[in-house]
């Protein structure tokens, strides 16, 4: 099995739990994901199966879209409602106008300090391992981009936000920082990933649906072809000699092809590689053919 599998992750499952479950169900050890979701979060988890795992890093770099729920007046150590409460405050005086102003200030390229409860490694140890032992270390801020941060409604007393952001953005940290900006504190009470790159949660399958399909021997029907990940790049079909050189890891002379990045196919239609041409020479960026 080789391809992309889109899962609508349920709450209370880690991303690693989903991968481990599907390795057993699909009888395939080569399964990876592009972008972790916290256990409390639901929504789109992009999985790569078989040799498609070679493309994980490309998908990780894509922008993501989320629907998050912000709870003002509550500060926790995890920056979401699952954590230990550090401070509670009456946030009833915060107006919609004030919140919208805060959201505008958090939009664009900003510096974000990663939370202690994260899998980032520092000194060879994951931050959440240090945090669970009651420790805290200084973290360097990281540059992220929040392309869109819209207030779209209420969920009881909480506020619903639609977010599009770059790789490496911690949405619960956004919620925390918005609360700090408003002076009342805040945290994330719910999160759902709705899009990752070109993939939408509407295309995703539930875990029970994948398990049922596997039991009926039709799980492969749920996979999307890997080349779809690179749909933004034009397709290029090469002849037998160029294909032979690509399969051997060599450059290929294609003087008639303009400079650019291409999805490269053999004459049989097999997806070979993502490659770059420059001055009539094709060089592989990443190969995806079966060895």
C-alpha 260, offset from chain centre: 26
Nearest to 14 by CA among 169, 106, 128, 176: 128
What is the sign, positive or negative, of the torsion defined by CA atoms of 78, 80, 82, 83?
positive
Q: Is 155 a catalytic residue?
A: no
Hey, what are 129's tokens?
A: 């391992």
Hey, what are 155's tokens?
A: 């969920």
* SS (HEC) of the chain: CCEEEEEEECCCCCHHHHHHHHHHHHCCCCEEECCCCCCCCEEEEEEEEHHHHHHHHHHHCCCEEEEEEEEECEEECCCECCCCEEEECCCCCCCHHHHHHHHHHCCEEEEECCCCCCCCEECCEEHHHHHHCCCCCCCCCEEEEEEEEEEEEEECCEEEEEEEECCCCCHHHHHHHHHHHHCCCEEEEEEEEEEECCEEHHHCECHHHHHHHHHCCCHHHHCECHHHHHCCCCEEECCHHHHHHHHCCCCEECCCCCCEEEEEECCCCCEEEEEEEECCEEEEEEECCCC
Catalytic hit among 8, 12, 17, 38: 38
> Distance between CA atoms of 152 and 66, rounded to whole angstroms?
12
What residues act catalytically? 38
């Amino acid at each position: 099995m080789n391809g992309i599998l889109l899962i609508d992750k349920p709450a209370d499952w880690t991303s690693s739990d989903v991968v481990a479950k599907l390795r057993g169900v699909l009888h395939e050890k080569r399964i990876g994901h592009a972008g972790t979701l916290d256990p409390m979060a639901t929504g789109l988890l992009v999985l790569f199966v078989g040799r498609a795992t070679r493309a994980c890093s490309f998908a990780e770099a894509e922008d993501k879209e989320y629907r998050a729920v912000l709870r003002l007046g509550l500060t926790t150590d995890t920056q979401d409602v699952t954590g230990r409460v550090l401070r509670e405050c009456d946030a009833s005086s915060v107006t919609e106008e004030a919140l919208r102003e805060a959201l505008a200030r958090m939009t664009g390229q900003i510096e974000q300090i990663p939370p202690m409860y994260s899998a980032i490694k520092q000194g060879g140890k994951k931050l959440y391992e240090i945090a669970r032992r009651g420790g805290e270390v200084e973290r360097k801020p990281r540059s992220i981009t929040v392309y869109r941060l819209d207030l779209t409604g209420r969920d009881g007393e909480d506020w619903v936000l639609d977010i599009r952001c770059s790789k490496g953005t911690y949405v619960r940290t956004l919620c925390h920082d918005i609360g700090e900006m408003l002076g009342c504190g805040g945290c994330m009470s719910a999160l759902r990933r709705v899009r990752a790159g070109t993939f939408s949660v509407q295309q995703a399958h539930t875990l029970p649906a994948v398990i049922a399909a596997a039991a009926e021997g039709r799980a492969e029907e749920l996979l999307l072809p890997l080349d779809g990940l690179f749909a933004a790049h034009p397709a290029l079909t090469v002849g037998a000699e160029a294909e032979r050189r690509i399969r051997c890891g060599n450059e290929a002379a294609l003087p008639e092809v303009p400079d650019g990045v291409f999805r490269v196919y053999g004459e049989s239609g097999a997806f070979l590689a993502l490659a770059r041409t420059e001055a009539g020479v094709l060089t592989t960026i990443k190969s995806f053919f079966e060895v």
